[in-house]
Structure 1
Amino acid sequence: MKENNESEWISKLMEDLQKVEDIHKVEVPQQHHLMNTLTNFKTERKKAYRRELVIFLITALIILVSYAAIAFKMTTVFIWIQGLTILFIPFIFMAEKKRRNKRKEVTML
């Protein structure tokens, strides 16, 4: 009796699993679609890499010039750098927010 009950339970489980598999059929993408998606991803990564590299270099140059201005006691240059940086921060945030909204990213800004 116990074996019959277990086999009945297993057969019902197998039927239910088959129903779930039938409902959730996954469509296999075509090769050209996969290649197109991969190519788009690679180009987006290249753009992001270049953008990050440019931002890094600009930031490094600003820090280097700031330290040089402090080291050579050029207070006017240092104050100009700080003032321009403070003025450009809102524009940088707006551009970044616009870029993220275009890509539909989730942000904390």
Structure 2
Amino acid sequence: MTRDEALKELSRIAYERAFGGYFASDALIQVGLDALLAGAESESLAMLAGLGRNEELEAQDLFERVLYELGLDVDVPAGARAARWALAYWLAGQMVEGSLDPAVGAFPDLA
């Protein structure tokens, strides 16, 4: 995995979480480790990647700090209509670049 691929994966997870997706702490730790090994640099990323099983409760907050430090944090508009449009634009972008199957993107609740 390259650094760019790792940052793209962190960004994807950031968007999915911002729009209501859930990722378990161990998955966030693994993504952090993958990004660190791929050459991404952030103080909190090293901390996230190094968390042990008994420290998993810290992963969610550390992941948010990682996103902020790398400039990948996602601001969802406050209004429901604007938030739905933001989700639609993000899904459309994923479909256009080929990282999301159009059938899944068109009906994300059915996937």
TM-score surpassing 0.5? Answer: no
Larger Rg: 1
- Greater share of helix residues, 1 or 2? 1
Greater relative CO (CA pairs within 8 A, separation 6+): 2
Q: TM-score normalized by structure 2?
A: 0.30
Q: TM-score normalized by structure 1?
A: 0.30
